[in-house]
Amino acid sequence: MNFARLLILDDDLDICLTIKAIAERAGLTALIATDPESFFDHVVSWRPTHIALDLIMPEMDGVEVLSRLADLNCGASIIITSGIDYRVLDAARRSGHEHGLQVSGVLQKPFSPAQLRTLLHTDGPDAAKTQMRAGNAFKPDATSLAAALRDGQVQLVYQPKINCATGALTGFEALARWHHPVHGVTSPDRFIPLAEAHGLIDTLTLCVQEQALTWMQDGLFQEQAGFVMPVEMPLTVSVNISARTLEDRNFAESVMALCDRYSVSHEHIVFELTETSAMADPTSSLDLLTRLRMKGFQLSIDDFGTGFSSMKQLVRLPFSEIKVDKSFVLTALKSEESQAVVRSIIDLGRSLGLRTVAEGVEDQETLALLKELFCDQAQGFHIARPMPPADVRAWMADYAATLA
């Protein structure tokens, strides 16, 4: 049974009818509204699974409609349409996302039936997607997270980083996953903020570091020794550090003690920092970060280009690496603006003597562009998705074969 329902809002009836015909041919039931009032009535009473929304209408603009849809907690998959500049459409898409809406795409008029059909099927009510939403509906609480940390349910996956110019392996980023016995794998975006808010972040950071160091000594260094593959020395493992952790006065001592215990020298470890602007005590954070650098650890400013990682922090704190935020890298081929941002961040990093890393590299073309821009390192799905430690050996063998 098909239960996909498309609600169309456009003040041009001809366009409504065209969209309706395309949707019905694609197996959806469709309903038309040409004014906002009847549109919102249908949103409430008919509960559409999909919405096609014209951005510019005489009585109300699309941005207002989006914000009212957000107030109504609308879960439909939204397609934004309009005849205006793509940049404005794209800004509206981002605004929808920021309101927590599910915007599946934007269509610049005139669009083809095929373009519309693709978007209608992007978020069809298929089983996998429904399951994912069910997983996302899981609202973790601090008590279960504390238990999960104790029981070893929080584990690391590793995503490789390579040298853009030579393809050589340079290291891995360690990313936390919560393997919940009932709700399955929960992403860090859902439990890191919880850990920060409930005083569990230091426990989490310690748990992550212990796992990463154990893996380096027992896994990574052994695997790498067994392979003849191009690697850049020192091979590094990057761990993410929340700004909160910098309030821990014993952080430097505890991480040095761990490195001693696992016999890992400091130069192999990169601490990635986001939200540097949120550091509670800028002076003591500066002291701590300076000490870490003096002890030989590397420091990376993560998500650079977003509001949280600012130019001021870049200049003030002793970073050794700058990570271009993936939102720019993901769109670098499609958007001139994104490409300009990526290029400027790489140039800035180089002129400050920092290593530059781009994350979110999803295709060969983007990797080629980064090489052209003289970016040092790349990370992303095109190279490999984050993987459990048990899969690293096989990945290395496959990857070495592609380089040979």
Interface ranges with ligand C2E (CB under 6 A): 159, 175-176, 187-189, 192, 208, 240-242, 272, 274, 302-303, 326, 359-362, 380-381, 386
Residue among 123 and 325 whose Cβ is closer to Ca ion: 325
The DSSP result for 244-268, as a single string, is GGGG-TTHHHHHHHHHHHTT--GGG
Per the DSSP assignment, residues forming a β-bridge with 79 are: 52, 105
Closest distance between ligand C2E and the C-beta of residue 149, in Å? 11
Q: Which tokens sit at 18?
A: 């065209």
Closest distance between ligand C2E and the C-beta of residue 154, in Å? 8
Closest residue (Cβ) to Ca ion? 272
Strands 77-82 and 50-54: parallel
Closest distance between ligand C2E and the C-beta of residue 352, in Å? 21
Residue among 240 and 242 whose Cβ is closer to Ca ion: 240
Which residues make Cβ contacts (< 8 Å) with residue 25, sequence separation at least 6?
A: 113
- 123-152 residues near Ca ion, rule: CB under 5 A: none
Residue 362: contacted member of ligand C2E, Ca ion, none (CB under 5 to 8 Å, by partner type): ligand C2E
Instruction: Kindly report the number of other CB atoms within 10 A of residue 128's CB atom.
Output: 7
Binding flag, residue 240, Ca ion (CB under 5 A): yes
Closest distance between ligand C2E and the C-beta of residue 13, in Å? 39
Closest residue (Cβ) to ligand C2E? 380
Closest distance between Ca ion and the C-beta of residue 44, in Å? 39
Burial of 286 (0-12, 13-18, 19+ CB in 10 A): middle
* Cβ atoms of residues 173 and 188 within 8 Å: no
Coil, helix or strand for 11? Answer: coil
Binding flag, residue 272, Ca ion (CB under 5 A): yes
Residue among 81 and 309 whose Cβ is closer to Ca ion: 309
Instruction: Give the alpha-carbon dihedral of 384, 388, 393, 395, to 10 degrees.
Output: -20
Closest distance between ligand C2E and the C-beta of residue 266, in Å? 19
Residue among 49 and 159 whose Cβ is closer to ligand C2E: 159
Q: What is the DSSP letter of 390?
A: G
Separation CA 226–CA 215 (nearest Å): 15
Closest distance between ligand C2E and the C-beta of residue 366, in Å? 9
Long-range contact set of residues 116-119: C-beta below 8 Å, sequence gap at least 24: 116/19, 116/22, 116/23, 116/52, 116/79, 117/22, 117/26, 119/79
Binding flag, residue 302, Ca ion (CB under 5 A): yes
Residue 258: contacted member of ligand C2E, Ca ion, none (CB under 5 to 8 Å, by partner type): none
Stretch 303-342: interaction string toward Ca ion, x if CB under 5 A:
x---------------------------------------
Catalog residues that contact Ca ion under the rule CB under 5 A.
240, 272, 302-303
